[in-house]
Amino acid sequence: MKLKLKRKNVGAGILMAVFTLLFFILASKFFVVAYSQSAEGVDLIEYGKRKWLKSDELDAKRGTIYDRNGEEIAADIPSYSVIAILDKKYPNHVKDPEKAAGKLAGVLDTDEGDLEDLLSKKGRFQVEIPAGRKVSYRTKQKIDQMKIEGIDFIRESRRYYPNQTFASHVLGYTGKGDDGVQKGLMGLEKSLDKYLKEKDGKVTFIGDAYSRAINDKKEKIQPPKNGNEVYLTLDEKIQLYLEEAMGEAAKKYKPEKLIGVVADPKTGRILAMSNYPSFNPNEKDITNYTNFAISDPYEPGSTMKIFTLAAAIEEGKYNGNEKYQSGSYKLPNITRPIYDHNRTGWGTISYDDGVRNSSNVAFSKLVREKLGYEKFRSYLSKFGLDKKTNIDLPNEKSGSILYNYEVEKVTTAFGQGTTVTPIQQIQAATAIANGGKMMQPYVIDRIIDPKTKKTVLAHEPKVAGKPISESTAKKVRDILGTVVTDGTGKPYMIEGYDVAGKTGTAQVPGKDGKYLSGWGQNIFSFMGMAPKDDPKLLMYVAIDRPHVEYPEMGSTPTANIFTSVMKSSLQYLNIQPEAKDSKQKSASSKSYGKDLPDFTGKSAKEAKSQLEQLGMNVTIIGSGDEVTNQEPYDGAYVIKGEKVILRTSGDVKMPDLKDWSYMDVLRLSKLMGLKETITGSGFAIKQSVKPGALIKKGDFLVVQLEEPKETVPKPTSDGSKNGGEQNTDDEETVVTE
CATH number assigned to the domain comprising residue 86: 3.90.1310.10
Q: Please indicate, yes or no, whether residues 7 and 60 belong to a single structural domain of this protein.
A: no
Catalytic residues, which ones? 302
Domain final residue, candidates 204, 232, 260: 232
Gyration radius from the chain CA atoms: 36
Mean pLDDT over all residues of the chain? 84
Whether the predicted pLDDT of 561 surpasses 80: yes
Give the pLDDT band (50/70/90) at residue 41.
Answer: low
Give the count of domains, the chain: 4
Whether the predicted pLDDT of 202 surpasses 70: no
Helix (H/G/I), strand (E/B), else coil: 257: strand
What share of the chain has pLDDT > 90, as a percent? 48
Task: Report, as an integer, the average pLDDT of 631-656.
Answer: 82
Q: Please indicate, yes or no, whether residues 158 and 28 belong to a single structural domain of this protein.
A: no
Q: Please indicate, yes or no, whether residues 214 and 251 belong to a single structural domain of this protein.
A: no
Q: Whole-angstrom Cα distance, residue 152 to residue 144? A: 9
Whether the predicted pLDDT of 266 surpasses 60: yes
pLDDT at 293: 97
Instruction: Give domain status of residue 184, yes or no.
Output: yes
Q: Whole-angstrom Cα distance, residue 329 to residue 414? A: 13
Task: Report, as an integer, the average pLDDT of 294-312.
Answer: 97
Task: Report, as an integer, the average pLDDT of 58-69.
Answer: 88
Q: Whole-angstrom Cα distance, residue 96 to residue 88? A: 11
Whether the predicted pLDDT of 208 surpasses 80: no
pLDDT at 112: 86
Instruction: Give domain status of residue 713, yes or no.
Output: no
Give the pLDDT band (50/70/90) at residue 705.
Answer: confident
Give the pLDDT band (50/70/90) at residue 711.
Answer: very low
Give the pLDDT band (50/70/90) at residue 335.
Answer: confident
Least confident of 60-64, 113-117, 208-212: 208-212
Q: Please indicate, yes or no, whether residues 394 and 411 belong to a single structural domain of this protein.
A: yes
**From residue 517, how far is each of 3, 521, 555, 735 by CA, in Å?**
131, 6, 16, 10
Kindly report the pTM of this predicted structure. Answer: 0.72
CA angle at 180 for the pair 177 and 183, rounded to the nearest 5°: 35
Beginning with the edge strand found earlier in the chain, give each strand of the sheet holding 683-687 in spatial order.
675-679, 700-706, 683-687
Give the pLDDT band (50/70/90) at residue 720.
Answer: very low
Q: Please indicate, yes or no, whether residues 433 and 476 belong to a single structural domain of this protein.
A: yes
Instruction: Give domain status of residue 702, yes or no.
Output: yes
Give the pLDDT band (50/70/90) at residue 225.
Answer: confident
Centroid of chain to Cα 498: 28
CATH number of the domain encompassing residue 463: 3.40.710.10
CA angle at 641 for the pair 640 and 644, rounded to the nearest 5°: 100
Domain final residue, candidates 189, 209, 232: 232
Helical axes 112-119 vs 97-108, angle rounded to 10°: 130
Q: Are 177 and 183 in contact (CB under 8 A)?
A: yes
Whether the predicted pLDDT of 181 surpasses 90: no
Neighbouring-strand partners of residue 230: 65, 447
Q: Whole-angstrom Cα distance, residue 634 to residue 596? A: 5
Whether the predicted pLDDT of 724 surpasses 70: no
Least confident of 108-122, 276-290, 360-374: 108-122
Instruction: Give domain status of residue 583, yes or no.
Output: no
pLDDT at 30: 67
Q: Please indicate, yes or no, whether residues 123 and 188 belong to a single structural domain of this protein.
A: yes
Instruction: Give domain status of residue 468, yes or no.
Output: yes
For residue 428, how many other CB atoms are within 10 A of its CB? 27
Task: Report, as an integer, the average pLDDT of 319-328.
Answer: 96
Buried-state track 335-365, b at ≥16 Cβ within 10 A, e below 16? eeebbbbeeebbeebebbbbbbbbbbbbbbb
Q: Whole-angstrom Cα distance, residue 285 to residue 444? A: 26
Q: Please indicate, yes or no, whether residues 612 and 546 belong to a single structural domain of this protein.
A: no
Give the pLDDT band (50/70/90) at residue 261.
Answer: very high
Q: Whole-angstrom Cα distance, residue 564 to residue 262? A: 12
Instruction: Give domain status of residue 720, yes or no.
Output: no
Q: Please indicate, yes or no, whether residues 243 and 226 belong to a single structural domain of this protein.
A: no
CATH number of the domain encompassing residue 649: 3.30.10.20
Q: Please indicate, yes or no, whether residues 568 and 508 belong to a single structural domain of this protein.
A: yes
Domain around 128: 56-232
Whether the predicted pLDDT of 188 surpasses 90: yes
Task: Report, as an integer, the average pLDDT of 562-591.
Answer: 69
Q: Are 650 and 624 in contact (CB under 8 A)?
A: yes
Whether the predicted pLDDT of 550 surpasses 90: no
Least confident of 250-264, 474-488, 616-630: 616-630
Q: Whole-angstrom Cα distance, residue 57 to residue 253? A: 51
Q: Are 449 and 493 in contact (CB under 8 A)?
A: no
Instruction: Give domain status of residue 631, yes or no.
Output: yes
Q: Please indicate, yes or no, whether residues 550 and 641 belong to a single structural domain of this protein.
A: no
Whether the predicted pLDDT of 725 surpasses 50: no
Residue from 477, 472, 67 nearest 262 by CA: 67
Neighbouring-strand partners of residue 677: 702
Instruction: Give domain status of residue 117, yes or no.
Output: yes
Q: How many CA atoms lie within 13 A of 175 on its CB side?
A: 8
169 torsion bin: left (phi>0), alpha (psi -120 to 50), beta (else): alpha
Least confident of 83-87, 133-137, 511-515: 133-137
Q: Please indicate, yes or no, whether residues 673 and 574 belong to a single structural domain of this protein.
A: no
Q: Please indicate, yes or no, whether residues 149 and 170 belong to a single structural domain of this protein.
A: yes
Domain final residue, candidates 232, 261, 281: 232
